[in-house]
Chains A and B, each alone.
Chain A
Amino acid sequence: MSIEELLVAVTVFVLAIFVGYLTITRVPPTLHTPLMSGSNAISGIVIVGAIVVAGTVGGLLGAILGVVAVTLATINVVGGYLVTDRMLRMFHRSDDDRQ
């Protein structure tokens, strides 16, 4: 990575922290658990790196690390989004009862 590329990456990092801060502070406390499980699914984005490792790094060690990383990240992504959906399905307002 050249110094220019590094600076771009750092810029992205700093701006994303700000976007995260501004976005997350608007989430009401009642949704804090789905926020955690949903954001946990997002951190499963490392699946992209895991795919690259599993598909490009050669040798037995590369294969083992790749399959471990893809498996862990997939658990995170699939489990995280599904369980968040399961929780969010249960939230409803009192006037929904009448429908």
Chain B
Amino acid sequence: MDSASQVFDNVTVAAYIVASVMFIMGLLWLRSPETARAGNRLSALGMLIAVVFTVIDRDIVSYEWIIIGFVVGALIGAVAARQVQLTAMPQMVAIFNGFGGAASAVVAAAQILHQNDSGDVDPVVSVTVALSVLIGSLTFTGSLIAFGKLQGIVATQPVLIPLRHVVVVVMGVGALAMAGLMIIDPSLEWALVAMALIALIVGVLIVIPIGGADMPVVIALLNSYSGLAAAATGFVIDNAMLIIAGSLVGASGLILTRIMTRAMNRSLANVMFGGFGVADSTGVGVPGASAEDRPVRSVNAAEAAIVLGYANSVIFVPGYGLAVAQAQHQVRDLADMLKERGAAVRYAIHPVAGRMPGHMNVLLAEADVPYDELKDLDEINDDFRRADVAVVVGANDVTNPAARTDRSSPIYGMPILNVDQARSAIVMKRSMASGFAGVENELFHLENTMMFFGDARASVEDLITEMKEL
């Protein structure tokens, strides 16, 4: 290697270190909404530096494919980022995770073909290629299924395939066997292809039995996998920047996964085995009475408006129903009216409300709700007993007091929002249908609870109309 190219290599490595530092700084700045936007831009600048210094590297001999990929990818990415509805953000994140995983797998696979052509076999490369292709492939199809479920293309109900655990284990063993073959003899390219195909099928089988409300866990986990696949690819091409960036994402996804499973008081294994809320709904029910013979207090918009109109302290509890009905703007309008009447308004956000971590916060931010009015479970749970009215908009299981008391309930032990402790609660809901966990919500039968049936958006609009009359 002559000294000129040596210098060039060192410059590239230096640029990669700078980019790595910018990724870490960018994530650090996410610790507050005030600095978050600058952090994201810093991270993007780091990415630009990394790309520019890679492109001008002397090893690159042909540019046409790179340019085609840039143009097509940038167009799709930019249009998607602009056009996507904020309510569709979970599916957007899901499919982007999938693309990341697929890109890692393709790069790793290409690298082993390259290595086979050149003839110098490196066992480290073979092992990490196997890892990257495995993780990347199952991230790809798993994310596609998650996207399909969130978009409503694939059934959101858990799809239970007979003997699915056995099938997944057998296929997993098969994939590992193929990986072993490929590591022993990297020239067996069919083993690589077979391994990738099995991993693609396993990705489908893992996600398809998981129900809609467990999606926050799945998305967080796939997010983690897309990072780990990138880190594995970093080992393949011996690039520390890829290892660093991939590990950051892997750690981030794992932390979010843990926060989500904790908020549901379930283990990751329990979520991933799937079928929650289907298999249990017949076996474990509410002891005693069924839904029909237990009274609920149903109110109309006028009655609800009177209760709200004279409240001094109101806590909104948004759930997935808010996203489905796209009611965030109406809720904000209602909150503004309440504030004008002198009430204190806050929002209680359960970690697993919606379909991905932070889903409600983004929707409410879109409706211009200031983020300091959004409170986490821990922050606000003691305040419910001092609140005049708690307004539940499209949330169910996360408000069920049975989680505290009923040992036989599938959601026993799950941290819930203390809506039942508010002086009164207004629950906006389409029907008495039970939530994801398939259990009846005790909250609905309490003396202080008023059920306000209807589409969340129409209901809030009616409430606003009635409030104006007060």
Chain A positions within 8 Å of B, measured between CB atoms, are 1, 5-6, 8-9, 12-13, 16-17, 19-21, 23-58, 61-63, 65-97
Residue of A nearest to B376 (CB): A29
CA distance A98 to B274 in the complex (A): 48
CA distance A35 to B244 in the complex (A): 17
CA distance A81 to B73 in the complex (A): 13
CA distance A18 to B370 in the complex (A): 32
Contacts of B66 in A (CB 8 A): 51, 54-55, 66, 70
Shortest CB-to-CB span from A1 to chain B, Å, is 4
Verify B96–A80 contact, CB threshold 8 A: yes
CB of B468 closer than 8 Å to a CB of A: no
Chain B positions within 8 Å of A, measured between CB atoms, are 23-24, 26-28, 30-34, 36-37, 39-41, 43-44, 47, 50-51, 54-55, 57, 59-63, 65-66, 68-70, 72-74, 76-78, 80-82, 84, 86, 89, 92-93, 96-97, 99-100, 102-104, 106-111, 113-114, 117, 122, 124-125, 219-220, 223, 226-227, 229-231, 233-253, 255-256, 259, 349, 351, 356-359, 361-362, 365-366, 368, 370-374, 376
Verify A43–B256 contact, CB threshold 8 A: no
Shortest CB-to-CB span from B388 to chain A, Å, is 20
Verify B357–A32 contact, CB threshold 8 A: yes
CA distance A41 to B248 in the complex (A): 12
Contacts of B368 in A (CB 8 A): 90, 92
Verify B92–A9 contact, CB threshold 8 A: no
Shortest CB-to-CB span from A67 to chain B, Å, is 5
Supplied contacts A20-B251, A42-B249, A83-B81, 16 more A-B pairs, CB within 8 Å: A12-B240, A12-B244, A20-B27, A20-B252, A24-B255, A39-B223, A41-B47, A43-B246, A46-B100, A48-B239, A51-B66, A55-B63, A61-B113, A83-B80, A85-B44, A86-B81
Verify A36–B223 contact, CB threshold 8 A: yes
Cβ-defined partner of B226 (8 Å) among A17, A43, A61, A95 = A43
Cβ-defined partner of A29 (8 Å) among B28, B244, B252, B351 = B351
Given contacts A36-B223, A73-B103, A91-B33, contact A23 B113 (CB under 8 A): no
Cβ-defined partner of A27 (8 Å) among B31, B68, B69 = B31
Cβ-defined partner of A43 (8 Å) among B30, B92, B230, B358 = B230
Shortest CB-to-CB span from A96 to chain B, Å, is 7
Shortest CB-to-CB span from A33 to chain B, Å, is 4
Query: Mostly helix, strand, loop or mixed at chain B's interface?
Result: helix
Verify B362–A33 contact, CB threshold 8 A: yes
Residue of B nearest to A20 (CB): B251
Cβ-defined partner of B365 (8 Å) among A48, A58, A68, A91 = A91
Query: Mostly helix, strand, loop or mixed at chain A's interface?
Result: helix
Verify B24–A23 contact, CB threshold 8 A: yes
Residue of A nearest to B73 (CB): A74
Contacts of B256 in A (CB 8 A): 24, 32, 35-36
Verify A48–B51 contact, CB threshold 8 A: yes
Shortest CB-to-CB span from B387 to chain A, Å, is 18
Residue of B nearest to A85 (CB): B40
Verify B100–A38 contact, CB threshold 8 A: no
Residue of B nearest to A57 (CB): B114
Contacts of B26 in A (CB 8 A): 38, 42
Verify B252–A24 contact, CB threshold 8 A: yes
CA distance A88 to B106 in the complex (A): 31
CA distance A88 to B34 in the complex (A): 9
